[in-house]
Amino acid sequence: MVEQTRTVVEGRLVRLREKRPEDVVNDYAWRTDPELAAFDATYPLAISFKQFKAEYEFELKNPGLNRRRFAIETLEGEHIGNCSYFNVDEVQKQAEVGIQIGNRAYWGRGYGRDALKALLKHIFTTTDIERVYLHTLDWNIRAQRCFAACGFRECRRFAQGRYRFVMMEIRRQEFFERLGAEAAANPKSDLWRQQVDS
């Protein structure tokens, strides 16, 4: 039986919902995938499914205080990826975000962009965070284009070990200015209309 979980926010193509135990199968497959790991500048997970499941269930029951994790699913209910915000700094009023579309069938079709916009909407309408930032590998041009389309702008480049990263950011005021411009350009759009979580 699939556990019902609360939808947090909905976009045009996806909804973000709370994580649930059944997500473990997809999450393990994505975390052990070498190509997906390369996009995250890491190595594929090298633990058994049994061990991963135990750690996964513990984390669901004991979520961290400075992070929120969400499943990304299509409006038809298919789990296609995950996103989160973390490293929340209550003094600086900033947080880092991460996103992954694990199901390759949804790459390059706007699902990641829609999910990231929905995540930003959730953050900026339910918290007092003023700045959201992310890191991506310098060679991942597709991701950088997606982030730029969501309003992020490059603010720094740096090296860490053998990897080179691009840091991008968006601020609350920029987000709402962009939101207003999009709504004015397309008043019938329902992209930002439904906020399920209040």
Tens of pLDDT, residue by residue over 129-187, are: 999 999 999 999 999 999 999 999 999 999 999 999 999 999 999 999 988 777 656 65
Confidence of residue 66 (pLDDT cuts 50, 70, 90): confident
Structural domain contains residue 2 = no
The pLDDT of residue 194 is 44
pLDDT on residue 64: 79
170 or 189: which carries more pLDDT confidence?
170
The answer to whether residue 190 is domain-embedded is no
Give residue 7's pLDDT: 83
Strand order in the sheet with 68-74: 7-10, 14-18, 68-74, 79-89, 94-101, 131-137, 163-171, 153-160
| pTM, 2 dp | 0.88
Q: Is residue 10 scored above 60 in pLDDT? A: yes
| pLDDT recorded at residue 4 | 52
* Owning domain of residue 71: 7-185
| Number of domains the chain contains | 1
**Mean pLDDT, range 49-60, rounded to an integer:** 95
Instruction: Look at residue 90 and tell me if it is in a domain.
Output: yes
Is residue 163 included in any domain, yes or no?
Answer: yes
- pLDDT value, residue 189: 55
- Whether residue 196 is predicted with pLDDT greater than 50 in this model: the reply is no
Q: What is the mean pLDDT of residues 46-72?
A: 93
Does a structural domain hold residue 82?
Answer: yes
For position 182, what pLDDT does the model report? 73
Amino acid at 150: C
Q: Decide if 197 is inside a domain.
A: no
Q: What is the mean pLDDT of the chain?
A: 90
Say which CATH number the domain at 157 has.
Answer: 3.40.630.30
Collapsing DSSP states into helix, strand and coil, what is residue 191?
Answer: coil
Residue 85 in domain = yes
Mean of pLDDT values over 38-57: 95
Task: Report residue 11: phi and psi, to 5°.
Answer: -110, -155
With a cut of 90, say whether residue 19 has pLDDT above it.
yes
Is 33 part of a structural domain of the chain?
Answer: yes
95-133 burial string, b = 16+ CB within 10 Å, else e? Answer: bbbbbbbbbeebeeeebbbbbbbbbbbbbbbebebebbb
- Quick one: average pLDDT of 6-25? 94
